[in-house]
Structure 1
């Protein structure tokens, strides 16, 4: 298992902080119970941070007529909504909630040209809040391939404080390649044309680069 490059700085910082704390407790307190308890908690916490940035090897699902899940998580919304930022009309929204335990790399659901890549500062409502799509910190990307245009919106959650996105308008991108990363709990929304055949259900657990979300 690999570690995502977005995690190197965070993992190094956490390791140094834990090392200093444990060293100080060992030096100042003559209490084996306290020392070993803190060490155990530190190891568990460090392993959790490392696992958050894991990048497991996977056999990708591909297809020109398929919309592949952009992330790991659970489907929490499938509904018709008005999309005000780019399309300015009704779209079919599919939302995937990513818990802190999920792999947090985000991927392109289709191949095509990047038509929009726009960051929006905002609030940090819990990721499942109905207004998180329009009020939270977020980054919107539109990818078009001649058959359809799809908007993908990375949304920061209550714990997330940084959205990373690698795409720029005019780029040609490939399905399942990395689009970005969201740190510590978040959500990704997909906006599909009305009438799109959705192949997932509410509460279904999906995997990025593998699960088919819809058919074009």
Structure 2
């Protein structure tokens, strides 16, 4: 195998949203590094981190009716019933919510948890509190997407965090998504909340590591039950 083939097989693609940041970081590194060698090496490390942050690896999504797939890489930080954001038009009754916190080292490309048409896209301005806090769901900047799956309507909310300053959503109302398909991205630390029909039993636990597009959050075809709100040791 040639060196080119080896690099091609091991390199992770960079999402198009990251190319402008990568170009700026590289340009600043070259300009300042021309005068100060120390700055060049620091800039080179930061440029490599930008490329790493905007990585967009391929994922293999389970194709099974009723499965809800993790929309984000990160750690499950909250599980339990709560009222969905009013702008999603999902009603006032509590739904099962699973929250995934993404730090600055996680892949930040967001993927659809289920297959179906997008019936609602709603952006709401807000604060930039620590995304791990409960009140971040109500107070922080966010963008909600509702997908009408065959097993019921699912809400997925992108929430900006303490460092995040830009939520990107690639889909519009009326478009269709496949489970595991890329639908958005949040820059530099954030959270994803998934709202499931009441009574849905999650198949993940607090503290568990999520892999977007691959980890199964729940099975909407399974009998309703009480969610096990437990923490992974």
TM-score w.r.t. structure 1 length? 0.92
Q: Determine helix, strand or coil for the equivalent of 1:42.
A: helix
1:59 equivalent in alignment to 2:70 = no
Residue in 2 that maps onto 1:42:
43
How far is 1:150 from its partner? 0.6
- Structure-1 residue corresponding to 2:171: 167
Retained in 1: the 8 A contact 2:29–2:39?
no
Greater relative CO, 1 or 2 (CA 8 Å, sep 6+): 1
Could you tell me whether the CA contact under 8 Å between 1:139 and 1:155 is conserved in 2? yes
1:60 CA drift (Å): 2.1
Q: Map 1:1-216 onto structure 2 (within 5 A).
A: 1-25=12-36, 35=37, 37-85=38-86, 86-87=89-90, 88-216=92-220
**Aligned position for 1:28:** none
Distance (Å, rounded) in 1 between the aligned partners of 2:127 and 2:85:
18
Cα contact 1:62–1:68 (8 A) shared by 2 = no
Query: 2:231 corresponds to which residue?
Result: none
Give, in whole Å, the separation in 1 of the partners of 2:211 and 2:110: 10
Task: Work out the CA distance in 2 between the residues paired with 1:84 and 1:176.
Answer: 23
Helix, strand or coil at the partner of 2:60:
coil
Q: TM-score, normalised by structure 2?
A: 0.85
Q: Provide the rounded CA distance (Å) in 1 between the counterparts of 2:63 and 2:163.
A: 32
Flag structure 2 segments of 5+ consecutive residues without an equivalent. Answer: 1-11, 221-233
Q: Report the Cα distance in structure 2 between the residues aligned to 1:21 and 1:38, rounded to whole angstroms.
A: 6
Aligned partners of 1:180 and 1:81: how far apart in 2? 24
Aligned-residue offset at 1:89: 1.5
Count of aligned residue pairs for this structure pair: 206
Q: What RMSD in Å do the two structures reach over aligned CA positions?
A: 1.1
Q: How far has the Cα of 1:124 moved from its partner? A: 0.5
1:14 deviates by 1.1
Could you list the runs of 5+ residues in structure 1 that have no partner in the other structure? 26-34
Partner of 2:8: none
* CA distance in structure 2 between the partners assigned to 1:119 and 1:179 by the alignment: 14
